Amino acid sequence: MKIETLRDRIEKKEAQIEKKANTINKKYDLIVKKQAKAEKADEQDRRWLECEIETLKDDIKRLGNEIKEAQATLEKYKKQLEGEIEKESQFMTEVPEQAKEMEKQLIEKWDESDKDRRQFYRDEAERLGYADFVKKYKYNAWEYRYESDEQIHDRNVKDARTFVLDLLNRTKAITGEIESWAYVHLTVGTNGYPVLNGYVEGKEGRAMVESIYAGGYNIQRLHVRVLVKAC
């Protein structure tokens, strides 16, 4: 399966999970409203409202199971993407030292950031409770609280390797066979994150490499993107 196809499937599956999580939030809001009505209703209306509340709870349970199934599929697509990128990168006998160091630093920074974010979600979950937490931070954040240090690290090792291999593939698509990384420099940027800037020379041309950032507040890991373009 092509890399672009897998990326498209990953994006659609993530959107599907988010949509189901939003539906859960709406159903929780309905439960709260119907519970308030039930407290003031007569016995007959209260029974109907209680039945409706139970139906909404069943819907939430079903949607939660569907989200778990979708997440399993999402993980499968991500593993396939890793495999395809690895396959395309077999032509690379050596990864430049700048890219290796960036990979190492990304793992360290992402581990630290993700553990801080996990603790933030745990504190907020205790403060808000399920319904208000999911409404504010979404369902995925609720599930994220349960991740272990090992799960966080293993994911970041894979993410960093995929990041580097994708960068090398994109560079080679512009330069052809890469001849020199001598003009690319790795320095420390925002919040201590690695910044890779400069240009790569190849047999078919030259590619400019530039790092940019997105996110980075208390509930989102700082994302680093490396732009590659012909120059």
> Over the stretch 182-224, which tens digit does the pLDDT of each residue have?
888 887 766 677 778 888 898 999 999 888 876 655 556 667 7
Q: Write down the pLDDT at residue 78.
A: 87
Q: Write down the pLDDT at residue 168.
A: 84
Percentage of residues in the chain having pLDDT higher than 90: 29
| Predicted structure pTM score | 0.64
Instruction: Select the highest-mean-pLDDT range: 23-27, 103-107, 149-153, 188-192.
Output: 149-153
Mean pLDDT of the chain: 85
CA distance 25 to 60: 9
Residue 150, sorted as left (phi over 0), alpha (psi -120 to 50) or beta, turns out to be alpha
- pLDDT over threshold 70, residue 84: yes
The larger pLDDT score, comparing residue 224 to residue 109, is at: 109
Q: What pLDDT band is residue 92 in, cutting at 50, 70 and 90?
A: low
Structure token digits, residue 169: 């593939």
The larger pLDDT score, comparing residue 220 to residue 40, is at: 40
Total Cβ atoms within 10 A of residue 152: 19
CA distance 26 to 108: 38
DSSP, collapsed to helix, strand or coil, labels residue 25 as helix
DSSP, collapsed to helix, strand or coil, labels residue 208 as strand
